[in-house]
Amino acid sequence: MTSARREGDHVIVTIPVEEVHELRVALQPCPCKSTKSHATTQLRERFVRGLGMAVDGKKRTQPKG
Provide the pLDDT for residue 55.
Answer: 84
Q: What is the pTM of this model?
A: 0.63
Judge whether 64 and 53 are in contact, CB under 8 Å.
Answer: no
Q: What are the domain boundaries of the chain?
A: 35-65
Greatest alpha-carbon span in the chain: 38
Beta strands 3-7 and 10-14: pairing type?
antiparallel
Q: How far apart are CA 41 and CA 20, in angstroms?
A: 19
Question: 16: which DSSP letter?
Answer: -
What tens digit of pLDDT does each residue of 11-64 get? 898 999 999 999 999 888 888 878 778 888 888 888 888 888 888 876 555 544
